[in-house]
């Protein structure tokens, strides 16, 4: 497994394929960071068009941002970026001698922008003392896929803990305001993290263009100073790797979440065994709307009004979670059994252990 990036071909999107919200919403392991915007960009998993170079190389999906209408202009504290985080122990045991300037990792990816301009990004090593390595894409031609390669040397100041925390972060940036940038910041060199000097000053053309788009696919990070051909993995392999960080418990109308029992009046619990061990004890992720989201089928009558789940961290772990269900009807008594189902087609119920 040369590629340290999970889902670099953007195949897996467990939460959904389009969202106008921040954070992890669509393509697994890649999240949108945006602030100060008049309108938050739309993130989506999209098809790679036939006949393009990435398509001929086996890429069928991409992560796409569609810019909102930033009528207020480019503010000094505004930003938009796509971020990926590598688990620390995966970097520590990768074979990269990150303390040595003669040892390298190489980042490569395909990018396409509807606006012709140069974009900056940066690598961040978050373990103390935090280090930053800025890079650029070079001038991208409008609506043209371009392969970007960045060779990253080690540095004696880098620290990577051998644990399940953040080890290396990659920021694919579309815009940062001048609160975060400095015109004197040198590219392709390590420096101690400074929140106001992450990279050189950013061109605002993409950011101030309504409905501008940016697409990303084929992200690979590998040990060595040369970018090799992308390591394609099967959908099943990528899904299992993604499930260490996020798992869907139920999607679609009437999907079964689990069997359980009432352990006191108006209180029901369900234990769910997770198919893949997660990075840490997860948290509940409800991406649904409406007042009726769940149904508990029981012998003495279905329960479906105002039911809501909570995850008990005290008795949950990386392999099994315990869900408690409250706001049940008064006819539920201790010992009653039943099955919990999702109600309604939209949204998903999941658990997250994202970095």
| Structure tokens that stand for 19 in this block | 């969202």
Higher pLDDT, 308 or 7: 7
**Would you tell me how many other CB atoms lie within 10 Å of the CB of residue 349?**
21
For residue 91, give the H/E element and its range: helix 88-92
Task: Give residue-wise pLDDT tens across range 126-165.
Answer: 999 999 999 999 999 999 999 999 999 999 999 999 999 9
| Structure tokens that stand for 120 in this block | 């900056």
pTM for this predicted structure: 0.97
Sheet with 146-153: list strands edge to edge: 18-19, 42-47, 61-66, 213-223, 104-113, 146-153
Task: Give residue-wise pLDDT tens across range 266-290.
Answer: 788 999 999 999 999 999 999 887 7
Backbone angles phi, psi at 31, to 5 degrees: -130, 155
Report d(CA 347, CA 289) in Å as an integer: 8
Length of the chain: 355
Rg of the chain (C-alpha set): 23
């Amino acid at each position: 497994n040369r590629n340290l990036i999970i889902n670099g071909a953007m195949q897996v999107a467990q939460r959904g394929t389009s969202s106008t919200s921040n954070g992890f919403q669509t393509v697994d392991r890649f999240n949108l960071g945006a602030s100060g915007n008049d309108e938050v960009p739309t993130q989506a998993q999209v098809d790679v068009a036939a006949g393009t170079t990435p398509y001929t190389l086996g890429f069928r999906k991409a992560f796409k941002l569609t810019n909102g209408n930033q009528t207020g202009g480019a503010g000094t504290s505004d930003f938009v970026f796509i971020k990926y985080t590598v688990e620390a122990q995966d970097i520590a045991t990768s074979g990269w001698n990150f303390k040595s300037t003669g040892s390298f990792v190489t980042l490569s990816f395909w990018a396409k922008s509807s606006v012709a301009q140069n974009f900056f990004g940066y690598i961040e090593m978050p373990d103390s003392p935090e280090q930053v390595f800025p890079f650029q894409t070079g001038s991208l031609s409008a609506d043209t896929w371009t392969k970007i390669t960045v060779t990253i040397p080690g540095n004696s100041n880098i620290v990577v803990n051998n644990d399940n925390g953040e080890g290396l972060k990659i920021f694919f940036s579309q815009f940062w305001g001048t609160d975060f940038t400095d015109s004197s910041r040198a590219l392709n060199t390590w420096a101690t993290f400074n929140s106001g000097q992450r990279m050189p000053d950013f061109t605002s053309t993409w950011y101030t263009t309504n409905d501008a788009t940016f697409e990303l696919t084929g992200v690979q990070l590998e040990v060595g100073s040369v970018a090799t051909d992308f390591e394609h993995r099967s959908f099943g392999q990528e899904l299992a790797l993604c499930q260490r960080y996020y798992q869907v418990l139920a999607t679609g109308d009437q999907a079964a979440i689990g069997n359980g029992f009432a352990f006191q009046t108006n209180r029901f619990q369900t234990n769910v065994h997770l198919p893949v061990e997660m990075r840490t004890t997860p948290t509940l992720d409800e991406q649904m709307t409406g007042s009726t989201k769940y149904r508990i089928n029981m012998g003495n009558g279905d329960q479906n009004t105002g039911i809501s789940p909570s995850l008990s961290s005290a008795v949950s772990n990386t392999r099994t979670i315990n869900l408690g269900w409250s706001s049940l009807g008064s006819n539920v008594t201790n010992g009653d059994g039943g099955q919990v189902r999702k109600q309604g087609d939209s949204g998903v119920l999941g658990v997250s252990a994202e970095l």
